[in-house]
């Protein structure tokens, strides 16, 4: 007779065994590399791999509404010897997702995107802001994804500051309404207002895209862990948005965001929590209606 403890142990062993084939994804061949695309969604990645780790919303909009997506590599990490390889891996991951891509500055993106560097050299920081404003002016995205201000990692915090400063200038100068979805990775959002459910095929696409960052996943298998993080996200998101002690959504995987929009130069967060399950139609219009 199998005891409950035996069943629990068997489950844990199945989870551990699932890592082995996933770890081999990083050794597969690279795909085609697309060029940058205009309009639609801009995903501001502090490092290559953040576009895939937090990009579920962009992936669903591309698939369900045909929104073009461009991923912006704000930095290529701090290891100078890895920058060219990381750019190639970034392009490869975007190819797996069907997205356009570009570095924030040619040829190898920015260095020093963090609060300390901002305070140390304000003139250089303003140059970076101007460069991102130029990208926004060129692409004119309807939705921008970027890390939230308290996302723990200095480059994530710096990317928030950099891209928000650029967005304020762009939105004010152009008089445009732009949706903003703040993402989480290193530290959870305390006031998320959007839970995006993700179906199994989309989760698999994101896992595969993260695996394209071969040098990074060789160091730490983020791709193999992504489904488990997205399961826990649904647990947190359901309680935060529906109220603690409430029901559990009928889907396993999800990603949390803080949704807002720029209107008349001001950022206006969504006034209520919204849940889009994997079967619900997700569109820019539906996101706007939540704000």
Q: What is the pLDDT of residues 207-239, one digit of tens each?
A: 999 999 999 998 888 998 999 999 999 999 988
pLDDT tens digit sequence for 129-139 = 999 999 999 99
Higher-confidence residue of 91 and 30: namely 91
Tokens 């720029």, residue located: 262
- Report how far residue 195's alpha carbon sits from residue 257's, in angstroms, rounded to the nearest whole number: 7
- Report how far residue 50's alpha carbon sits from residue 183's, in angstroms, rounded to the nearest whole number: 10
pLDDT at 30: 52
Average pLDDT score over the chain = 90
Max Cα–Cα distance, the chain, nearest Å: 71
CATH assignment of 31-289, among 1.10.10.60, 3.30.70.120, 3.40.50.10320, 3.40.50.410: 3.40.50.10320
**Annotated domain spans of the chain:** 31-289
pLDDT at 95: 93
Higher-confidence residue of 33 and 62: namely 62
**pLDDT higher than threshold 80 for residue 289:** yes
pLDDT at 263: 78
Angle at 138 between CA 141 and CA 118, to 5 degrees: 85
**pLDDT higher than threshold 80 for residue 242:** no
Q: For residue 99, count CB atoms less than 10 angstroms from its CB and return exposed for 0-12, middle for 13-18, buried for 19 or more.
A: buried
Q: What percent of the chain has pLDDT over 90?
A: 72
**pLDDT higher than threshold 60 for residue 31:** no
pLDDT tens digit sequence for 246-258 = 777 889 999 999 9
pLDDT tens digit sequence for 75-124 = 999 999 999 999 999 999 999 999 999 999 989 999 999 999 999 999 99
pTM score? 0.92
pLDDT-based confidence at residue 35 (cuts at 50, 70, 90): low
User: Measured in whole angstroms, how far is the alpha carbon of residue 161 from the centre of its chain?
Assistant: 16
**pLDDT higher than threshold 90 for residue 11:** no
**pLDDT higher than threshold 60 for residue 165:** yes
């Amino acid at each position: 007779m199998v005891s409950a403890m035996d069943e629990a142990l068997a489950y844990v062993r199945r989870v551990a065994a699932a890592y082995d084939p996933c770890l081999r994804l990083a050794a597969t061949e690279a795909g085609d590399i697309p060029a940058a695309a205009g309009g639609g969604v801009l995903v501001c990645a502090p490092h290559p791999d953040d576009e895939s780790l937090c990009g579920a919303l962009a992936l669903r909009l591309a698939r369900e509404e045909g929104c073009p997506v461009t991923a912006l590599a704000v930095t290529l990490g701090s290891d100078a010897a890895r920058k060219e390889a990381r750019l190639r891996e970034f392009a490869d991951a975007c190819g797996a997702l069907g997205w356009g891509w570009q570095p924030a500055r040619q040829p190898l993106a920015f260095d020093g995107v963090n609060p300390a560097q901002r305070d140390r050299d304000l003139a250089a920081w303003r140059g970076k802001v101007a460069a991102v404003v130029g990208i926004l002016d060129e692409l004119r995205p309807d939705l921008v994804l970027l890390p939230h201000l308290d996302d723990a990692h200095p480059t994530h915090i710096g990317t928030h500051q950099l891209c928000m400063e650029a967005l304020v200038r762009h939105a004010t100068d152009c008089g445009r309404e732009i949706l903003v979805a703040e993402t989480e990775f290193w530290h959870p959002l305390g006031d998320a207002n959007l839970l995006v459910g993700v179906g199994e095929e989309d989760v698999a696409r994101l896992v595969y895209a993260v695996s394209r960052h071969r040098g990074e996943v060789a160091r730490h298998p983020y791709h193999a862990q992504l489904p488990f993080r997205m399961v826990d996200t649904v647990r947190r998101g359901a309680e935060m948005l529906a109220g603690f002690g409430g029901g559990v959504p009928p889907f396993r995987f999800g990603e949390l965001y803080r949704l807002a929009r720029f209107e008349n130069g001001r950022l206006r967060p969504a006034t209520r929590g919204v849940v889009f399950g994997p079967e619900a139609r997700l569109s820019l219009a539906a996101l706007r209606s939540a704000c």
